[in-house]
Structure 1
Amino acid sequence: MRSTPDITRKSLLIGSAWGLLALTAGCTKPTTGSEALPSSTPTASAANVAHWSYEGAEGPGDWGNLSPAFQTCTTGKAQSPIDIPAATPKSPAPITLAYSASECDVHDNGHTVELHAGSAQSLTVSGKNYAFKQMHFHDPSEHTIEGTRYDVEFHFVHQSDDGVLAVVGLLAKAGKSNPVWAPFVDAAAGSTSSRSIGSVNLASLLPASLEHFAYEGSLTTPPCTESVLWLVLDQPIELGADQISKLRAVHSANNRPTQELNNRTVTLVNQ
């Protein structure tokens, strides 16, 4: 176990103030150029007015100045991503998956590539159910663990009936080629338009262990809305160097820098 940092503890409070968000469901595609949750599901129209980027005058350091709808990117105190410290105590809040094989397709929204499932998928954590909305990637990773940054990070975005988001963060490092990820990687690299990748079982994309770090954070793109439940898996997966290169050729450096932890608690959850 990693040592626990000397930080002030507070309870993990997950709110439900989602007036800014308008999520798509199932295989519905976002409008081209729409914002991501936390990097990819469309946000409210007010957030779509201002253009943002990962570099230059419209980059992460200036997001809060681009639109009144983006002010939380600057003023928020529970922002994501973060550098994840080791933390105790361990919390008895496992992730229970209700994933099954589904026809899926991919769509490039201009900032990342999303995967959408054609049939209902969901997960449960702490007795609450969250419906799967989409999965997307960042290169390199947005979250770091004790300062270590990974080659890629995948975000599995879910939403509860009352509008709360729960995002599973999956880190990936260079290693052996990963055949279960090949359909997504190849399709992401092959076209900017929507395209089918056939049947995929989302559970097969995840590692054997779902042990994870849980904390209260935010979207990692404008409008940086807070009260997002983050579930960052402790066990990374491996992707082949060629697979990472394919993703990087489509979108690279699409990661927000880590944000201050402030008084939040990060809890390692045994699975």
Structure 2
Amino acid sequence: MSEPAAEAAAPAADNKKKKWLMIGLIGGGVLLIVLSVVLAVVLSHGKSKKGQSKAHDTEQQAEEGDAEGGGEEHADAEEHGKKEEGHEKPKAEHGSAEPEHTTETHKPAEGGKPGDEAALKAEADQLKQDIAKLQHEMDQQTEMLTLSDEAAKLKSEINALKEKKASLEGDKQKLAEGVKQIRSGEKKCAISGNPDKRLDELRACLGMSQHGESKPGEHKPAGDSHEVHWSYNGENGPEFWAKLKPEWKVCAEGRTQSPINLVGKFGSGVPALSYEYKSSALTVVNNGHTIQANVAEGGGVVLDGKRYKLLQFHFHTPSEEQINGRANDMVAHLVHKSEDGKLLVIGVLLNRGKDNPVLKPVFDNMPGKASEEKAVPNAGFDANRLLPASRNYFHYDGSLTTPPCSEGVKWFVLKNVGNISPKQYDAYTQLYPYNARPVQAVNGRAIVEN
């Protein structure tokens, strides 16, 4: 190579060396930055494993000379966020680098901490165990409730069977006594030779119901095998009467049901009611729902020229009728019937007070068991003596207050209240502490008073 050419090539070689030197410096700087980032990530990851939550910001300026560089430029480095945990400070890297500021804040490692994951898993397992325990307890409670419901049904069925047994035993005794009376000639009955009709004819002759059918105006014995059992509470209570038997749907659908609350302004135009009662013997019956006294020949009343014969009277406690929202201790319902089958009921309200001698034959002879009855031939019962001296009343059209809740009943509720002694009241409520139907909707009915 010629000298001029060599002189021309020398600057090019110098430029080439400077170029590679510049590339080396730039590469070294990039490498330094990468190493710093990696170091920061490693330190952050290590500290997150230890669960440290506080961040310490430390600023440090240091000027370090490069002892091995001999004339190389000294770089000022500012290092931030270096943690002092017993480790030596890392020496400054050779070469010039931009000051690096690092602020470390405790952040959970991506994907969650291993310690936290273990704790969460343990907590989830505990929750699963608690849920399983609660489910087991709920299953036990459900099983207990099911057993309780089954026990209640069995108890109800047992009570129904007991009532049926008592009714059959009562019928057996009545039939046996009736047969004795027929054989002795005390009673005459027309009994045919047809064996299929003989029992019905004997029951009719003895005044017993035919196949569980009550006499007109009477409550049906609770233990009768041909009657659906109803009561004043529970699943056979008043709110369910209409569902117990199709013929009883009027108990819910009727528009003139009884009893009612007698409140508000009342009209006039009261029909004339005359009393034609007379002394009579009684038969006191426990019919499974109340104490009822059947009247042999006790006279009756006359309404608008129509005569209604007194059939029986029975009791409810508390009184079913209310006056201005208030019930009395008891009520006696005197049930009458006309020749064309229409019913009329007179309600006599009673409160505890003086002894009631008129009702003494009834309260002294109350049978303790359903379907039992006691004859009181010398009762001398006269309904005139049961009614108060002042016989003003409320009058409205209503229904029977027990199934089948038949409507078209003429109701007269006397305003003045009679008495019964606490002893008489207690004797009755020991048998029937509560046997009152709730008051029913008036539905715009006319209520009159005198």
Q: Do Structure 1 and Structure 2 share a fold, with TM-score over 0.5?
A: yes
In the TM superposition, residue 87 of structure 1 has moved relative to its aligned partner by: 3.9
TM-score by length of 1: 0.81
Aligned equivalents of 1:161, 1:230: Cα separation in 2:
18
Q: What letter is aligned with 1:207?
A: P
Partner of 1:250, secondary structure, is: coil
* Higher helix content, 1 or 2: 2
Equivalent of 1:82, from 253, 257, 260? 260
Deviations 1:193-239 (A, max 9, x none): 22123221121111112211110111111111111111111111011
Within the candidate set 201, 210, 213, 2:391 is matched to: 210
Tell me the residue number matched to 1:233.
Answer: 414
State how far apart, in whole Å, the 1-side matches of 2:324 and 2:216 are.
Answer: 24
Instruction: Say whether residues 1:61 and 2:239 are aligned partners.
Output: yes
| CA pair 49-41 structure 1, distance change in 2 beyond 3 A | closer
1:163: which partner in 2? 341
Q: List per-residue Cα deviations over 1:165-219 (Å, max 9, x = no partner).
A: 0000111011112222211111126665221232211211111122111101111
Task: Output the CA distance in 1 between the equivalents of 2:368 and 2:220.
Answer: 23
Shift of 1:126: 2.4
Judged with a 3 Å threshold, the aligned counterparts in structure 2 of structure 1 residues 234 and 135 are, in CA distance, closer, same or farther, namely same
Task: Give a deviation string over 1:106-148, Cα, whole Å, max 9, x none.
Answer: 1111111111122251101222211111110011111101111
Partners of 1:148 and 1:181 in 2: how far apart? Answer: 24
Task: Rate the CA distance shift 1:256–1:55 in 2: closer, same or farther, 3 A.
Answer: same
What corresponds to 1:177 in structure 2? 355
Change (3 A) 1:209 1:31: farther
**C-alpha contact (below 8 Å) 1:217/1:226 kept by paired residues:** yes
Counterpart amino acid of 1:221? T
Letter in 1 for 2:403: P
Q: Indicate if the aligned counterparts of 2:212 and 2:227 stay in contact, CA closer than 8 A.
A: no
Q: Residues 232-271 of structure 1: matches in 2 within 5 Å?
A: 232-269=413-450
Aligned to 1:194: 373
**Equivalent-residue separation in structure 2 for 1:260 and 1:242 (angstroms):** 34
Mapped to 2, the partners of 1:32 and 1:105 lie a distance apart of 21
- Structure showing greater radius of gyration is 2
Q: Secondary structure at the match of 2:365?
A: helix
User: Is the alpha carbon distance of 1:120 and 1:178 closer, same or farther for their aligned partners in structure 2, counting shifts above 3 Å?
Assistant: closer
Please tell me the root mean square deviation across aligned C-alpha atoms, in Å.
2.4
In structure 1, C-alpha distance between the alignment counterparts of 2:331 and 2:216, rounded to whole Å:
14
1:147 corresponds, among 325, 331, 335, to 325
How many corresponding residue pairs? 238
Q: Is the 8 A contact 1:139 1:152 kept in 2?
A: yes
Q: Is the 8 A contact 2:358 2:386 kept in 1?
A: yes
What residue number does 2:74 align with? none
Matched, 1:96 2:274: yes
Contact 1:94 1:211 (C-alpha < 8 Å) held by counterparts: no
What percent of counterpart residues are identical?
Answer: 34
Distance in 1, matches of 2:327 and 2:212, equals 27
Higher strand share: 1
Distance 1:126 1:225 in 2: 22
Secondary structure, in 3 states, of the residue corresponding to 2:364?
helix
Query: Per the alignment, do residues 225 and 103 of structure 1 end up closer, same or farther by CA in structure 2, a change over 3 Å counting?
Result: same
1:31–1:109 Cα contact (<8 Å) kept: no
Structure 2 match to 1:106: 284
- Whole-Å Cα distance in 2 between the matches of residues 76 and 89 of structure 1? 23
